[in-house]
Amino acid sequence: MPIKLPNDLPVREILEEENIFVMDEDRALHQDIRPIQICILNLMPIKEDTELQILRMLSNTPLQIDVTFMKMTSHISKNTAKSHLDTFYYSFEELKKRHFDGLIVTGAPVELYEFEEVDYWEEITRVFSWCNTHVTSTLFLCWGAQAALYYYYGLPKRKLDAKLFGLFRHRIYNRKTPLLRGFDDEFWIPHSRYTEVPVEEIVRCEALTILAQSEEAGVALCMADKGRKIFMMGHPEYDRMVLRNEYVRDQRKGLDTALPKNYFPGDDVGKRPVLVWRAIANNLYTNWLNYYVYQSTPYNLDGTPWGDLIPDNYR
């Protein structure tokens, strides 16, 4: 089924070239169904790259999806044109009265700052609070996951001795959880970060259920509130060449970033990386949309008092 996007969104053309069914706003108005309302809080510097990566993931579902992009107004983006943000993104103030079936909070390259030092920290905590009453399920990615774990449960992050960078093997736990339907016992996904939430802190938090963990990368996936909050520490949405591009960028900046682990065949930068995480990424997003968004959300999204939909053990 299609993703409904603004008619002039630049990545739309790329998605259509990849045979992803994209519906324009005019055609969507004539559909006699309620599309799933998904909001993406995009905190990454190059917005269009992240838009493309996540929209690819959302396209692998039979559901019709209406996507809205959110921005933080307390931060000035240096890598995305203001015209793009003004045209396709909304502020929290513009969206705070709306309800959404799902929200995705991306990572951000601010890990080495304390959370309270991030210029949009106060603004994003308002979004985190709003999630409790206006979003059916939220998927937090990388720094977004670390920030949410800190905000909701007080879990600290700690700086790693070196950048965790590359492909890492993970083992699943709690297989009967619907989010893991169709997963193999082990899977690979990319990580690219300088900090982590310590495993022991997550284990001690009774609100959290660990779903996937790596010997090298720590906890990769956990959830709370029966799936109303899902935390993914890695980047399953990354395209084949993202880690390669990050490595080249770091080298040009003079950083001592090591080669991404388990990524280039024979650790040869000239060789094309093997894409081994796309299927598991598609599965994760499809399960999230199906079991935690579509099957849990009301039909009349804006007209239903949200507090009445949340069981007591979710509050």
Q: Which one is catalytic: 111, 196, 201, 237?
A: 237
Concerning whether 237 is annotated as a catalytic residue, the answer is: yes
Tokens 């990368």, residue located: 217
Selection from 279, 174, 275 nearest residue 219 by Cα: 174
Per-position DSSP letters for 237-290, written without gaps between them:
T--TTHHHHHHHHHHHTT--PPPPBTTSGGG-TTSPPP--SHHHHHHHHHHIII
Q: What are phi and psi of 38, to 5 degrees?
A: -115, 130
Active site annotation includes 186: no
Q: Which of 142, 191, 196, 201 is catalytic?
A: 142
Cα–Cα distance, 255 to 248 (Å, whole number): 10
Active-site annotation holder among 134, 170, 191, 235: 235
Contacts of 254 (CB under 8 A, 6+ apart): none
User: What is the chain's percent helix, strand, coil content, to nearest 5?
Assistant: 35, 25, 40
Active site (annotated) includes residue 235: yes
Q: Are 182 and 283 in contact (CB under 8 A)?
A: yes
Residues classed as catalytic: 142, 235, 237
